[in-house]
Homo-oligomer: A and B are copies of this chain.
Amino acid sequence: MTSVHSGRRAVLRAAAAGGVGAGLAMTGLAAPASAAKSGPRIAILLYDGLTALDAVGPYEVLSRVPDASVVTVAKRAGQVRTDTGVLGLVADKSMRQVRDADVLLVPGAGNRGVIAAMEDAETVEWVKRLHRRTTWTTSVCTGALILGAAGLLRGVPATTYWASRSYMESTFGAIYKPERFVESGKVVTAAGVSAGIDMALHLAAKLSGERVAQALQLAVEYDPQPPFDTGSPDKAGPELQQLALELLEAAAT
């Protein structure tokens, strides 16, 4: 049997050939690795009870935008636990340490997490503060409700988790659009959970051009082939909607 120890060959084809610097120089994206990153500063809000994929889907795309820097931020630096309680993510910085960003990403959560975040004055004030100077203020899923609590959605076309449409409209005066993501000025909202991946590719194109965004779609091999066709409430119908909410609630902490 061939040993994996026989050589430190690159497991990703072509990664060892050509040279990254040369390739990027050809595409006009080069920056010396030792230089301070000159690209967009992206802040991802983490909070107790968040839905992991809301944050991690966009992170996986946006962290590869050339020269981008990504920082995870929570009320206090350290571990936050997700909505199911079984996964911990680490926030590297506290809100006090991050007062400015070019892109703000606010992920969603289940009932408990998003209500706590909406009702937390420090969180809402931090979102308001960053929003004043962002290039893009973005949300995924019920993260839109936190933007709403910060007063950013009144009269604004937006989307959110399918089951939170009425709440977003009646509580924050947003104009719900049943789209995968909605760009309204500098506010970009994505639909539920996995929709953050679609939104992030759109943002990558805005930040660094379509060619980079197309390459990033390949980098995360995003050629989706869901085994069912039940990913939207209309396609799923009322019985699966009810079951989906029950399954979410049953797994929630």
Contact = CB atoms under 8 A, between A and B. Distances in A.
Interface of A: 1-2, 4-5, 8-15, 18, 20, 23-24, 27, 29, 33, 51-53, 56-57, 59-60, 63-64, 66, 69-72, 79, 84, 86-90, 92, 110-111, 114-115, 118-119, 141-142, 145, 148-149, 151, 154, 161-167, 170-173, 180, 191-195, 197-198, 201-202, 205, 210-228, 230-233, 235-236, 240-251
Given A56-B53, A111-B10, A246-B27, A227 B240 contact: no
Contacts of A226: 197-198, 201, 217, 222-224
A140 B1 CA distance: 23
A11 B220 contact: no
29 contacts: A4-B148, A12-B167, A20-B249, A23-B242, A23-B246, A27-B243, A27-B246, A29-B250, A53-B56, A53-B59, A53-B220, A56-B87, A64-B84, A66-B247, A162-B221, A180-B225, A191-B221, A194-B220, A194-B222, A211-B240, A213-B227, A215-B240, A215-B244, A216-B247, A217-B227, A218-B231, A222-B231, A223-B232, A224-B231
* Oligomer copy total: 2
Contacts of A165: 13
A53 B57 contact: yes
Contacts of A225: 180, 198
B164 A193 contact: no
A199 to B, nearest CB: 9
A209 to B, nearest CB: 11
A231 B240 contact: no
B161 A64 contact: no
Nearest to A111: B10
B60 A115 contact: no
A23 to B, nearest CB: 4
B227 A111 contact: no
A224 B219 CA distance: 17
Nearest to A142: B11
Contact of A111 (B12, B23, B66): B12
Contacts of A141: 221
A212 B247 contact: yes
